[in-house]
């Protein structure tokens, strides 16, 4: 057993928006409610409530960031090597919160949730669910923060889409954020990423089982969602890491089979990733969350000027990219860094040398861990 594991952890729920006034007003103009937020917490909030850190998950993540869910050792958190006693996010020192985004499918309100006002017999939102944005996700997290009695986060951290939420927090709630760690992310989704998301959604929506989103739990659009995931996975790796991990090696066979079954290791890997994903993720959630990423452009409501967008920010930053990440490139991180420096905001930037591509934020634990743990230590000492 991993002695540094946090151990058993249990999911918690917070529901709001039961009355018209309390509903969540979204960027699209619609109101969402009731809203449930599924979250987990680790460690203890200190007397001054100054050690709270919010970890924000990526597209396919969830609230279960570390430890064993319900004490089940098979249910290990998605960033367990970073969060726990003595780890970068030290649960002996900090109070860590991680919540599932709205629109998700791991406990928080999303397209497959019960819709009290639904006209259709299933009473499930499906495509009646409003199109949400990264800012909407953050608004819902802000409600959770108030519910937990926290006034200011010591830090916010997230990779990929989690980094977008972290950036959005710093802009939307500058007073509530002491420091931010956007990792392997961007201030605006590039046309290339929008293009990948489009193809992923097309695969889902053209799957006959999708049925305009009204699929039955027994007959979900498996092939569409698996294709979307396989496509996604290619963008999370790099040419070099694929070459190292798979090469041109064959899987389970000694020579080419001269048909179209999976021959190569890389093919079986993708097939496996697709199949595994279908078991734990929902197709409609994939549509909504990927759309939220498409719409993310931090500078948009500031006339397209990122420097202006970041001018009211009151937090210090640790921006991290990975040298082989071609989905959210180091150049995109550097744009954030430059805009912060123009505003005289304390910013540290490191482009970690790695061959793992975008996935590096889950794999480069040593360097990433040192950066995060030292950065947090300094921030915590500053306010103590």
Partner 1 sequence: MTQKIREKLLKRPDILVIADIIPQNSRILDLGCGDGSLLELLRKEKNVYGSGIELSQAKILDCVSAGVPVVHGDLNKGLKELPDKSFDYVILSQTLQAVERPDQLLDDMMRVGKKAIVSIINIGYYSARFQIMFRGKMPVTETLPNHWYDTPNIHLGTVCDFRDLCREKNINIISEIPIGEIHEKLLASIWPNLFASTCVFVIE
| Contacts with partner 1, residue ranges (CB under 8 A) | 316, 318, 334, 337-338, 341-342, 344, 346-353, 367, 370-371, 374-375, 378, 381-382
Nearest distance, CB of residue 319 and partner 1, angstroms: 9
Catalytic residue selected from 160, 238, 241, 333: 160
Nearest 5 degrees, angle CA 38-CA 110-CA 295?
110
Between 239 and 374, whose beta carbon lies closer to partner 1? 374
Between 14 and 349, whose beta carbon lies closer to partner 1? 349
Nearest 5 degrees, angle CA 284-CA 286-CA 288?
70
The answer to whether 272 is a known catalytic residue is no
Nearest distance, CB of residue 382 and partner 1, angstroms: 8
Nearest distance, CB of residue 315 and partner 1, angstroms: 12
Between 234 and 367, whose beta carbon lies closer to partner 1? 367
Nearest distance, CB of residue 364 and partner 1, angstroms: 11
Nearest distance, CB of residue 378 and partner 1, angstroms: 4
Catalytic residue selected from 325, 333, 354, 359: 325
Between 183 and 225, whose beta carbon lies closer to partner 1? 183
The answer to whether 160 is a known catalytic residue is yes
As annotated, the active-site residues are 160, 325, 358
């Amino acid at each position: 057993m991993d002695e540094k594991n946090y151990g058993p952890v249990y999911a918690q729920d917070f529901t709001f928006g039961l009355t018209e006034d309390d509903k969540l007003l979204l960027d699209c103009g619609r109101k969402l409610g009731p809203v449930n937020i599924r979250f987990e917490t680790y460690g203890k909030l200190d007397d001054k409530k100054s050690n709270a850190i919010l970890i924000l998950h990526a597209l396919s993540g969830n609230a279960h960031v570390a430890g064993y869910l319900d004490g089940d050792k098979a249910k290990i958190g998605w960033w367990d090597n970073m969060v726990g006693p003595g780890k970068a996010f030290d649960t002996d020192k900090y109070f860590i919160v991680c919540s599932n985004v709205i629109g998700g499918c791991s406990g928080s309100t999303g397209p497959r949730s019960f819709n009290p006002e639904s006209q259709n017999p299933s009473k499930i939102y499906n495509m009646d669910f409003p199109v949400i944005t990264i800012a909407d996700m953050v608004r819902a997290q802000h409600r959770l923060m108030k519910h937990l009695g926290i006034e200011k986060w010591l830090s916010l951290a997230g990779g990929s889409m989690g980094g977008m939420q972290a950036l959005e927090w710093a802009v939307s709630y500058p007073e509530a954020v002491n420091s931010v760690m956007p990792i392997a992310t961007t201030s605006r989704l590039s046309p290339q990423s929008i293009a990948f998301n489009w193809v992923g959604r097309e695969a889902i929506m053209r799957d006959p089982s999708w049925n305009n989103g009204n699929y039955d739990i027994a007959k979900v659009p498996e092939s569409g969602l698996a294709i979307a995931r396989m496509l996604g996975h290619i963008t999370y790796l790099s040419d070099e890491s694929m070459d190292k991990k798979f090469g041109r090696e064959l899987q389970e066979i000694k020579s080419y089979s001269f048909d179209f079954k999976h021959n190569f290791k890389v093919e079986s890997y993708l097939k496996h990733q697709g199949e595994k994903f279908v078991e734990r993720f929902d197709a409609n959630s994939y549509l909504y969350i990927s759309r939220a990423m498409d719409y993310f452009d931090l500078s948009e409501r500031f006339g397209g000027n990122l420097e202006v967008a970041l001018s009211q920010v009151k937090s210090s930053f640790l921006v991290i990219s990975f040298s082989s990440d071609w989905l959210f490139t180091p150049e995109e991180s550097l744009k954030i860094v430059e805009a912060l420096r123009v505003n005289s905001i304390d910013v540290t930037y490191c482009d970690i040398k790695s061959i793992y591509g975008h996935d590096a934020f889950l794999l480069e634990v040593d360097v990433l861990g040192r950066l995060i743990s030292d950065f947090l230590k300094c921030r915590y000492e500053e306010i103590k």
